[in-house]
Amino acid sequence: MKFELKKVHRNTPESEFIADLKNTAIKLNQDFVTHQQQNEFGKFDASNMADRFGGWAKAHDRAGLNFARHQKSVRVSDDELFQNMEEVWTKLGHQPIQADMFPPLSKYSAGAYKKHFGTWMKGLEIFVTNINSEEDASSESSIENLKVEPATKHKTKREINWRLRFIIMKRDNFKCKDCGRSPATDQSIILHVDHKKAWAKGGETVLENLETLCSKCNIGKSDLE
């Protein structure tokens, strides 16, 4: 890669910076410009501009653009962090520690959880609370309270959402119910949650009708059906 000195625009008037930022936004048809986009499509260097205005968002304010909205839209949601936590937890077969939160196992770092929830532990606590709220809604007893529908119709959806999947795996100690293998002791093991009585045969998506199987046993099972 060619070595290049960073362009310094010490003598460029602020109005030129602002005009250039606006111009870049117009080119992109956006009401914000990222650093990368400015450096690719703009005339002036983004860091230089940010320095001059006391921050990139402030440069946007001056140009009548809105960087805050963009930042908000890219901010990762609670649900994304929870789903990632669920994936890491079930792949490990036990509660993750901060050192587990690296790719390819984890999409988000422990730092992302700290930033979002305050502390790592707080993130875990809120995750578990979130999971527990699903448990009450997914037992047969609560299903019975629902309006009775014709016998041919299901009371539940076929899809096993990630919260329910986690509850079942945790209940089954992250072990295959058939062969007992677990990702905690064998990294090649991939666990699935499956309907005991097939959904197609009238089985419901409830705690009582779901079980944890490894991919091998799961395939064996569907062959028999």
Which pair of tokens denotes residue 192? 């699935």
Residue linked to tokens 């329910």: 164
How many chain residues are in contact with Zn ion, going by CB under 5 A?
5
Which of 68, 179, 190, 219 forms a contact with Zn ion (CB under 5 A)? 179
Other C-beta atoms within 10 Å of 128: how many?
15
Whether the upstream peptide bond of residue 104 has omega within 30° of 0, thus cis, is yes
> Segment contacting Zn ion (CB under 5 A): 10-18, 97-105, 160-168, 176-184?
176-184
Indicate if the alpha-carbon torsion angle 88, 182, 198, 171 is positive or negative. negative
Nearer to Zn ion, 35 or 181 (CB): 181
Please report whether residue 169 would count as binding Zn ion according to CB under 5 A: no
Spatial contact of 210 and 202, defined as CB atoms under 8 Å apart: no
Spatial contact of 37 and 24, defined as CB atoms under 8 Å apart: yes
Which of 100, 172, 178, 208 forms a contact with Zn ion (CB under 5 A)? 178
Please report whether residue 176 would count as binding Zn ion according to CB under 5 A: yes
Residue 223 C-beta: closest distance to Zn ion, Å: 14
Residue 127 C-beta: closest distance to Zn ion, Å: 26
Nearer to Zn ion, 204 or 211 (CB): 211
d(CA 123, CA 114): 7
Consecutive H or E run containing 80:
helix 78-92
Nearer to Zn ion, 92 or 217 (CB): 217
Q: Terminus-to-terminus CA distance in the chain, angstroms?
A: 58
Please report whether residue 189 would count as binding Zn ion according to CB under 5 A: no
Please report whether residue 217 would count as binding Zn ion according to CB under 5 A: yes
Which pair of tokens denotes residue 169? 């795996």
Please report whether residue 31 would count as binding Zn ion according to CB under 5 A: no
Please report whether residue 191 would count as binding Zn ion according to CB under 5 A: no
Residues that bind Zn ion (CB under 5 A): 176, 178-179, 214, 217
